[in-house]
Structure 1
Amino acid sequence: MRRICLTLPTNRACSHTIAAIGDEAAYAARTFDVEVRLLILDSSDTATYTEHAAAVRELGDVPGVVTHHLDEAAQRDFLRRVIDGAGVAKPELMLDLMLPDGVSYGACTNRAFLIAAALGCESVHRRDSDSHYQVLDGEPVFPVHHELMSLGKRAADAVDGVTEMDLADEHRDKRVAMVGSSFVGELSVDIGEINAIDPDVYYDVVSLWAPVHWSDEEKRDLVEESFRGAGSDTFTHDRATLTLVDPMRVDMCNIAFHDVHERVPLPPATDTIGSDYFLIHLAHDAALPGVLHNRHIVNYYTEERRTDAGFTAYQTRFVKFFLSMLYFNVIYDRMTEAGEALLDERGRVSARAIAAFARESALLDRAENVERLDRVDVAYRKLGGRYAEFADLLAERRERLLDEARRDIEDFALLTEAWESLVRASAAAGAPPTPGRTG
């Protein structure tokens, strides 16, 4: 029987989300011929972890579903065994990249990838703790439906599971590597207030993630599309297109991967939004078939973002995202130029090529990032209030942020070079010890 990993990384209270993803796991198991490993990677404090453990128990015994709820101690123990088994260079650094002290969207998902390999899962399906499902006629609309209709199948054989085909004949013998959709509700990045205060400043800030050589028109189009997901689309009926999926049309709260996640990891940068989106670009640029569907997830903001500490933390992640784009824009250009040359003779992504692009980009002059910080400083001082206070904080951290952005891309190259060894060691290590339940 096919085994899949449905995963929820979290560092905040989300018992309601655990109940909802439990329902999605149960739906997958009873609707498709699969065993679902529901993997909850919990970096919450002790009290919140205890609440989550109670929510997991409330899921009960569900046929075809095994739940794994791992705190950071269990995750760390597993990672040490895997890193030792892989025999990689710099094992302590590798552990830090996989389980850093700071928030890392890429690292938490990388842990899910390795644990999925240990559990014998052929695909990973990710959701987020600050989201929930749309409803039609009183029933939740689960993205896993489209994911299991197509993921891992030869593209030519996945046609019956979609409503539209937009894939050249040359790609139809490849496997469907990614199935995804977007979100509705709040912006994926908490910057709506900036637009409300000053739309011109909003453009100046958001356009910073575009390559510097882009025209004003290209930048305006990017700003218009950025962080909005599917807007306010309401689900009424299914649409699914077999295609090379545009990275701007999907979100990591609503994504599933087959194989590609075992070849290349996500960038492990800390305190950087967008660090978990790399494989979406890679699947597109390597011309790996995917499915884009319309079972969008509802995004909302947690109260933590409204606090002063939450504001500072989130704005820091936002600025570090801009700094990361100096490197990723070049990597994306290299991947676009390489196209299907990114694949080996078996049609699998070459980690060596990606690592080489990352190392090349790390040598870039950082003058472009100095300019980005200058422009953020001007923009935030125009906004005044807490944005001006944050600009003062950025000025103090300026050199450190520039250094971190370069080190982050070097760390990504290092992790990519070790990734396939880590995946093999994970598969050999077997499941990490955790209370679980099988129906």
Structure 2
Amino acid sequence: MGPQVVVVDEDRVLPEQVDVVVVGGGIIGMSTALYLAEKGISVAVCEKGYIGGEQSSRNWGWCRATHRDLRELELSIESLKLWRKLDQTLGIDTGFWQSGILYAADNEEALADHESWLARAVERVGRDGIDSRITSGSETAALMPGASRMFAGGIFTPSDGRAEPQRAAPAIANALRARGMKILTPCAVRGVETSGGAVSAVVTEHGTIRCQSVVVAGGAWTRLFAGNLGIDVSQLTVRSSVLRTEPIDGGPEVSACTDTVGYRKRMDGGYTIANAFRSLAELTPDSFRLFGQFLPALKSNFRSMDFALGERFFDALRQPRTWQLDQPTIFESVRTLDPAPTQKYNRTAIDEFRAVFPALAHVKVAQAWAGYIDVTPDAVPVISPADTLRGMFVATGFSGHGFGIGPGAGKLMADIVANDTPLVNPHAFRLARFRDGSKIELDGGF
């Protein structure tokens, strides 16, 4: 079973009409709803399962600018600004804490990679725009008290932070509901009705909501949902595994990552731990349909990926790619994606954590889980209008970065929907880049 999230009460009573319907109640969907509401725009959020039930509650909980793809660096920086004031603004507790994040370098080659990224980041946003710094071996050791080995150095960003994934999206949802917004759960959206080439309504399992715009923030489900409207979203999924430990005294406060393990201190005194650069790609028919687009990413990440051909391939093969809106859909029969964790990844991660911190070797694993990360060919999200249908917008493909940049992505999406001055330049996040002849490039951010 996945991690236990903060409960948001069920509500299936639909409004007749709103300005915008947000499809998906994860961190991106809830943040979009929040910043649309701040503009005075009426919103309803429809979530087929429960708020924050999929990848929004299954990630590491890191909120960082460090080692972001440079195309999303400004968005990451702006998102951190929003994280820092989110709790006070809404009167909630997401667990955000400016703990700092460290990437430790095992050798000089890894340290050179950190130096290269920092030089390019400073060139892009200026020295005042980011407070990352290269650390010596001794400073790295001081940031990892109790570590059993010396590192060549690292890169440390004091302004980076951490939050609690199981709390964040539900906390925003509860705050918005208290302010009168409709947060509908469980309420699967089957599809979108159009009139004159524009969005006119969404059809849910409980009825229809008239609206002028729809934001699809469905995570791993977005490509399937959009495809029923003839909108091609270049997106695949990978399965990521995570564990949490029981509370333990004396561990490091700074979140950190080595070449094998990533960890952060939790509010409950335990640690969230994961294999740093290892994930499982379960092949589906879309893996072959999109093979050409994802080939550069495959070449770049081949050594950090395992591949599996199994039940998920045949489930996807049997799944209709188009459907009628007056019949139940897969969104109702599969409320929450809850895959089994890859135990060998988690064993490697906890063994490495115990080896690096021998004084914590007695720490006990409390729970393990997995989730599906939605990825794009260039590992940069889509935050964009769907140009082929007026009033349709897509926020997906966050490639493992969605929780940390969630508030910023939601604010940017709200700006785009409202046709306001955008938080950052949205050009890099346009959906059309995968079909307009643009070259798919990988930046090298983690």
On whether the aligned pair clears a TM of 0.5, the verdict is: no
Q: TM-score, length-normalised on structure 2? A: 0.28
Please state which structure has a larger fraction of its residues in helix: 1
Q: TM-score, length-normalised on structure 1? A: 0.28
Please state which structure has a larger fraction of its residues in strand: 2
